[in-house]
Structure 1
Amino acid sequence: MKISPVIKKSIWFAWLLVVPVGIWITYQVYPPEQVSIGEVIPFLILMSVVAAMPLVVNNTPIFLIQWVSLAVFLKHGIFIEMVLMQVSVLTLLIRLRVPKSDIHKFPLNSLMFFIVSLFSGLLFYALGGTHGEHLSSDPYYLFLGAVYGISNFGINTIILVSIQALLFKLEGPYFGKDFIWETVTTIITFPIGFVLYELSKDMGSIALLFVGIPFASLSIILSLYYSSDKVNQFLQSASEIGHQLAERLKADEVIDLFVQKLIEMLPVDYAYILDVEEERELKLIHKVEFGEVLDPVAAPLEKGKGISGLVWAEKKPVLYNSKKEWNQINSGYIPPSAESILSVPIVRNNQVVGVLVLAANKKRAFEKSQLMIVDILCSHFAVAVENARHHEKTKENSERCALTGLYNYRYFENMLSVEFGKLQKGERDLLSLILLDIDHFKSVNDTYGHQSGNEILIELGERLSKRIGNIGTVARYGGEEFVILVPDMMKGDALKLAEQIRLLIANEPFTLLQSMDEEGKQLHVSITSSIGVATAPQDAEDSLALIRHADRALYVGAKRSGRNRVAEYVK
């Protein structure tokens, strides 16, 4: 929730203009009557303790102070309540360790609670209320106390929603889980305020112990309940994320989804995944900063070096709440603005295969329970990545020629069908197919042996891949035949490309690495090729016809015409 420097200055100006002057005017109009410091200090201590124990829901602190402020107001009036509330707000913000960049929250909250105290108190007095009366003496006084409490909560809610909508430009819903929790806890604690007020009139300051201790216990119980509920939600989310990771069949997709879900779950500004390479070093393979995927450029880390290296060496997760805790460790790639860091080893078969690092610019951004959840997610992630990589390797082996490493016949036919579908839908304009066959390859095998023939096929595959690059797809079609598919290339350009390929083969001899001549030098063999070219849609209406017509051009137009030439399909 970033706001401009101009608005921050305006908040400070509004505070200076309203709060000090407003408190002074309140003192003049509603001065405290016969109040000793000894009566006020116990309430001040209780309010400070309560303020230091907020219930944090969805990163929003719930300020369970209204019940004490109710008792203070009913006993000592609006001025004392207003001053003690200001001290309590200061205590709360100090307890939350508001960073310097958010220092404007001090005057903003002070101004907000001043307005709440002022308007709810004025409403109480306008309806004929006076402080210091026994609740049992007049039911109307009890009603006014309830009006004060309801108006206090209502005005606070209206101001809070207005700030979120107008100042921070946050979109709804404004009445989420944190609002429900605040409403419920307010309803529960307001009766305690009435009890505290009555007991303090009869018993004095000792009443604060009888009420304060049960409230502290209630706060602890509510905090534990919310924490356990939040952990259960995290565990449920972790299970769902684990299933989603398992459904991905590509390692890159698994990594992207894993980091995306972590950013959605936790207040993450920076996310890094490092891979253990040959048990020697950690290499950065994935880098996300403020939701943007960046090139993972960073020097490798040794075992035991930096935060990631220590996590790798010790096989234990770490959690740092501020930069002071990790500043002496050489972190390498972590930005200097980061404060909180959560790092977890990615373990598979009891071996660390990688390290996850999450960082945030805010201090104490992560909790210990979140460390446990991330540790569980890393286990799901390790299994999902391994399965995806195994699937990719299996798929690649089924799609590739084991000898040349090029795509095989099966993959090429499937891809050609997909590309032809795009052509028919208008997503492609043209499809040019180049079919190549090595001339007299049988004599090469007979003269130099099949191993030498394989060496020629391998080198030819490398030459074709290098020449075609990203403009098309090269596949071994079978035996000594190769096929090249080039989308959106006109037939004339495809013929020029085919001629360049023919010259690339004919003019550069092939090296036989395992064959020597009589002088002990490696043999070089010159070969030629015949090439046929066809283009859809002008030469074919379907994928099989395109292959058939390129094959016809190869054998009729090139082979029968003397070989070592390029021929196009002619109807």
Structure 2
Amino acid sequence: MIAKWKLYSVWLIWLITWPILLWISYEHYYLNIEGQFLDILLFAVFMCIVALFPLTINNTSIFFINGISIAIFLTFGLFVEIILSFVAIIMVMAKLRVGKKGIYRIPLNILMFTVVSMLSAEVYSLLGGRNDLIHYQNEAELFAMTGYAISIFIFNQAIIKIVQRTFLGIKEKLFDKSLKWEFTSSLLIIPVGFVLYILYSEIGNAAIFFLSVPFISISIILKLLYSYQEINKYLKKTGEVGHRLAQKLEVSEVYDVFMREMVQLMPVDYAYIYITSNDKLKLVRYFDASNQLEVSHEYVKRDEAFSGRVFSSRTSILYKNSREWEDIKNPIIPEEAESVLSLPIEYGEEIIGVVTIVSKKEKAYDKTHHRIADILTNYLGVAIENAKHYELTKAESEKDGLTKLYNYRYLDKVLDEHFNVNDELLTSLHCSMLIVDLDHFKKVNDTYGHEAGNEILKETAVRLKEMIGTLGYVSRYGGEEFIIFLPDSDLTKALHVAEGIRLSIGGTSFTVYQHILPHSNPVEVNVTASIGVSSYPEHCEEPNELIRHADRAMYIGAKRMGRNKVAVYNHINEEAIL
């Protein structure tokens, strides 16, 4: 955002200096206006028509009027060139609808054009050029005119870079994309401008009509060529983004990749990714280019702000400035927001979320941005659903169907990852393994039925998860056996946990409803557990021995010694009971 004092300074400098520069151009430079009103008017109309096709690159507008201004300068003088450039700038700004926030661009562009024209006129004079004695077949005059044309290009680019850095705060490279297009347009337009001057000298204002078609055609062709290249660039990058999204298997990774690529591809100050949740939108990712705005919301209702409207209407919205959405009042909208592009994330016929991007600049988004964003959100919808399907399949393959605990295959992978470190760290690692086996569980199944047994297994899983929490991983080993891995627990801590589990299972009865007894009332069933414990590095040298030793401790040290006990593996006598 441009500081207010800078905006006021532009207007003040323009009001003071521009009339002075205009007076200087009128009094001290060549002027040929007597009897030329009609021709000057035709040149003004010609210049305004060409000015209606500017290119906007890196927030810099490129006008294709240099060739015409050269012919005007050589024919009528600097004063007329400045006046007609002023008219053309007003025409362009009116077409762009700059609004109140962008109206500073009018005095700024007028000053820039005026300074460039006066500096170039000085170069022309220093090189020996004289408007009243031009002979375009004279080598000296051709040299002066060539120098004048080159100086227009150089001074224009220099002033643009100075204004960008000092006034707009934009630090672009010297040889950026706008310079390339300015140079390309100059190579095409300036020679035609010299032809216009020569032809006008020979046949009068008929030259304007003869060369209007080439001038306007070149302007349109350059604009279309730039648009074509921009669309191709966006499409290529969009395809690359789609490929990256397809490679991600986790939903969180899909969100991260999309947000990172979107803010690099589009002019974005704020970006939001919402996912549908209970007929509302839940914010899952957020971007703030300034890192100054705190997110004050987690959910968006239907018809609330931009995203809520898209969610409700199932159609995208594109606003080019705040005046277009002034009826949308909501505290979650950033105060500096101007341009807005919001699109639904679709999968099949279903809306699964909304993507909204916001810019502080007016007209930051157009139809091209809308088409590209539409393609990206389609990629995102597919990537999200694929990642969800992968995570669901992965979870199902790693979870026990009855208890919803992890299965042994998952625990085996956790063990591999835990011990996938260098040898130095292995020597300092402490971890423990617990195997829990419910005592006389066959008798429980025979007495109360297998459905009742399943209820006890599920309730045991709940108690184990509550006991372990974030200390480790609880898995179903098979049948009535459970296995618990405690990654950062030594033997003392593991024994304390194991005793707590034994008391939790044996100290509180299990209520079963799906029993086979000859009545339908709930039944309280008492169950105990035998637990084997082994620790690394006390009881083994290899991590894969943990499970085997815990299993041995459970059978030899707990089951054989009467059950309902905690036993520790002892590699000397293989018997130790707590």
Where on the TM-score scale, by shorter chain, does this alignment land: which range?
0.7 to 0.9
Instruction: Summarize the Cα distance change of 1:360–1:567 in structure 2 as closer, same or farther, 3 Å threshold.
Output: same
1:471 aligns to what SS in structure 2? coil
The 8 Å contact of residues 435 and 481 in structure 2, kept in 1 or not, is answered as yes
Shift in Å at residue 444 of structure 1? Answer: 1.6
Shift in Å at residue 434 of structure 1? Answer: 2.6
Shift in Å at residue 149 of structure 1? Answer: 0.6
Shift in Å at residue 512 of structure 1? Answer: 0.9
Instruction: Kindly report which structure 2 residues correspond to 1:49-68, keeping only aligned pairs within 5 A, or say none.
Output: 49-68=49-68
Letter in 2 for 1:301: R
2:515 aligns to what SS in structure 1? strand
Aligned to 2:563: 563
Question: Residue 348 in 1 paired to residue 347 in 2?
Answer: yes
Shift in Å at residue 461 of structure 1? Answer: 1.1
The 8 Å contact of residues 506 and 529 in structure 2, kept in 1 or not, is answered as yes
Aligned to 1:529: 529
Q: Deviation digits for residues 536-570 of structure 1, max 9, x if unmatched? A: 23333322122223233333443344333333344
Shift in Å at residue 108 of structure 1? Answer: 4.0
Q: Deviation digits for residues 48-103 of structure 1, max 9, x if unmatched? A: 33333202345542221211221121112223323433443444444434465555
Letter in 1 for 2:117: S
d(CA) in 1 for partners of 2:322 and 2:16? 37
Shift in Å at residue 150 of structure 1? Answer: 0.3
Aligned to 2:22: 23
Aligned to 1:298: 299
Aligned to 1:286: 284
Aligned to 2:475: 475
The 8 Å contact of residues 310 and 344 in structure 2, kept in 1 or not, is answered as yes
2:267 aligns to what SS in structure 1? coil
d(CA) in 2 for partners of 1:309 and 1:11? 40
The 8 Å contact of residues 307 and 356 in structure 2, kept in 1 or not, is answered as yes
Instruction: Kindly report which structure 2 residues correspond to 1:410-425, keeping only aligned pairs within 5 A, or say none.
Output: 410-422=409-421, 424=423
Aligned to 1:546: 546
Could you tell which deviates more after superposition, 556-565 or 542-551?
556-565
Could you tell which deviates more after superposition, 438-447 or 67-76?
438-447
1:184 aligns to what SS in structure 2? helix
Q: Deviation digits for residues 204-244 of structure 1, max 9, x if unmatched? A: 44433332333222222222222223222222222222222
Aligned to 2:508: 508
d(CA) in 1 for partners of 2:8 and 2:533? 72
Could you tell which deviates more after superposition, 401-410 or 426-435?
426-435
Q: Deviation digits for residues 313-346 of structure 1, max 9, x if unmatched? A: 7655443334444454688965464443334444
Instruction: Summarize the Cα distance change of 1:126–1:179 in structure 2 as closer, same or farther, 3 Å threshold.
Output: same
1:212 aligns to what SS in structure 2? helix
d(CA) in 2 for partners of 1:560 and 1:352? 60
Instruction: Summarize the Cα distance change of 1:222–1:34 in structure 2 as closer, same or farther, 3 Å threshold.
Output: closer
Letter in 2 for 1:300: K
d(CA) in 1 for partners of 2:465 and 2:337? 45
Letter in 1 for 2:370: L
Shift in Å at residue 112 of structure 1? Answer: 3.1
The 8 Å contact of residues 430 and 535 in structure 1, kept in 2 or not, is answered as yes
d(CA) in 2 for partners of 1:548 and 1:17? 91
Letter in 1 for 2:28: V
Could you tell which deviates more after superposition, 34-43 or 414-423?
34-43
Instruction: Kindly report which structure 2 residues correspond to 1:131-280, keeping only aligned pairs within 5 A, or say none.
Output: 131-165=131-165, 170=170, 173-275=173-275
The 8 Å contact of residues 300 and 308 in structure 2, kept in 1 or not, is answered as no
The 8 Å contact of residues 439 and 563 in structure 2, kept in 1 or not, is answered as yes
Shift in Å at residue 408 of structure 1? Answer: 0.4
Shift in Å at residue 179 of structure 1? Answer: 1.9
d(CA) in 2 for partners of 1:235 and 1:425? 50
Letter in 1 for 2:40: V
The 8 Å contact of residues 323 and 339 in structure 1, kept in 2 or not, is answered as yes
The 8 Å contact of residues 451 and 515 in structure 2, kept in 1 or not, is answered as no
Aligned to 2:381: 382
1:53 aligns to what SS in structure 2? coil
The 8 Å contact of residues 320 and 364 in structure 2, kept in 1 or not, is answered as yes
d(CA) in 1 for partners of 2:468 and 2:94? 65
Instruction: Kindly report which structure 2 residues correspond to 1:66-85, keeping only aligned pairs within 5 A, or say none.
Output: 66-85=66-85
CA RMSD of aligned residues (A): 3.3
2:523 aligns to what SS in structure 1? strand
Shift in Å at residue 189 of structure 1? Answer: 0.3
Letter in 2 for 1:411: Y
Instruction: Summarize the Cα distance change of 1:498–1:98 in structure 2 as closer, same or farther, 3 Å threshold.
Output: farther
Could you tell which deviates more after superposition, 40-49 or 394-403?
40-49
Could you tell which deviates more after superposition, 257-266 or 394-403?
257-266
Normalising by structure 2, we get a TM-score of 0.86
d(CA) in 2 for partners of 1:131 and 1:419? 84
Instruction: Summarize the Cα distance change of 1:546–1:217 in structure 2 as closer, same or farther, 3 Å threshold.
Output: same
Instruction: Summarize the Cα distance change of 1:110–1:471 in structure 2 as closer, same or farther, 3 Å threshold.
Output: farther
1:267 aligns to what SS in structure 2? coil
The 8 Å contact of residues 302 and 308 in structure 2, kept in 1 or not, is answered as yes
Shift in Å at residue 13 of structure 1? Answer: 5.7
Shift in Å at residue 249 of structure 1? Answer: 1.3
The 8 Å contact of residues 286 and 295 in structure 1, kept in 2 or not, is answered as no
Shift in Å at residue 419 of structure 1? Answer: 0.2
d(CA) in 1 for partners of 2:451 and 2:297? 42
Could you tell which deviates more after superposition, 452-461 or 9-18?
9-18
d(CA) in 2 for partners of 1:504 and 1:530? 12
d(CA) in 2 for partners of 1:341 and 1:113? 32
Instruction: Summarize the Cα distance change of 1:5–1:469 in structure 2 as closer, same or farther, 3 Å threshold.
Output: farther
2:131 aligns to what SS in structure 1? coil
Could you tell which deviates more after superposition, 326-335 or 371-380?
326-335
The 8 Å contact of residues 506 and 528 in structure 2, kept in 1 or not, is answered as yes
The 8 Å contact of residues 32 and 75 in structure 2, kept in 1 or not, is answered as no
The 8 Å contact of residues 308 and 331 in structure 1, kept in 2 or not, is answered as no
d(CA) in 2 for partners of 1:423 and 1:553? 29
2:419 aligns to what SS in structure 1? helix
2:489 aligns to what SS in structure 1? coil
Q: Deviation digits for residues 253-299 of structure 1, max 9, x if unmatched? A: 2233233322222223344444456xx83533534242579697124
Shift in Å at residue 498 of structure 1? Answer: 2.4
d(CA) in 2 for partners of 1:137 and 1:520? 115
Q: Deviation digits for residues 359-390 of structure 1, max 9, x if unmatched? A: 43433322223323333333333332222222
2:227 aligns to what SS in structure 1? helix
Q: Deviation digits for residues 119-149 of structure 1, max 9, x if unmatched? A: 2111111122111444435232122111101
Shift in Å at residue 448 of structure 1? Answer: 1.3
d(CA) in 1 for partners of 2:59 and 2:33? 42
d(CA) in 2 for partners of 1:557 and 1:295? 57
The 8 Å contact of residues 420 and 542 in structure 1, kept in 2 or not, is answered as no
1:405 aligns to what SS in structure 2? coil
Aligned to 2:574: none
**Unpaired stretches in structure 1, ≥5 consecutive residues:** none
Instruction: Summarize the Cα distance change of 1:221–1:213 in structure 2 as closer, same or farther, 3 Å threshold.
Output: same
The 8 Å contact of residues 238 and 375 in structure 2, kept in 1 or not, is answered as yes
What is the aligned length?
566
The 8 Å contact of residues 72 and 80 in structure 1, kept in 2 or not, is answered as yes
Letter in 2 for 1:414: K
Instruction: Kindly report which structure 2 residues correspond to 1:364-513, keeping only aligned pairs within 5 A, or say none.
Output: 364-422=363-421, 424=423, 426=425, 429-513=429-513
The 8 Å contact of residues 459 and 510 in structure 1, kept in 2 or not, is answered as yes
d(CA) in 1 for partners of 2:132 and 2:449? 111
d(CA) in 1 for partners of 2:468 and 2:88? 72
Shift in Å at residue 165 of structure 1? Answer: 4.9
d(CA) in 1 for partners of 2:566 and 2:110? 84
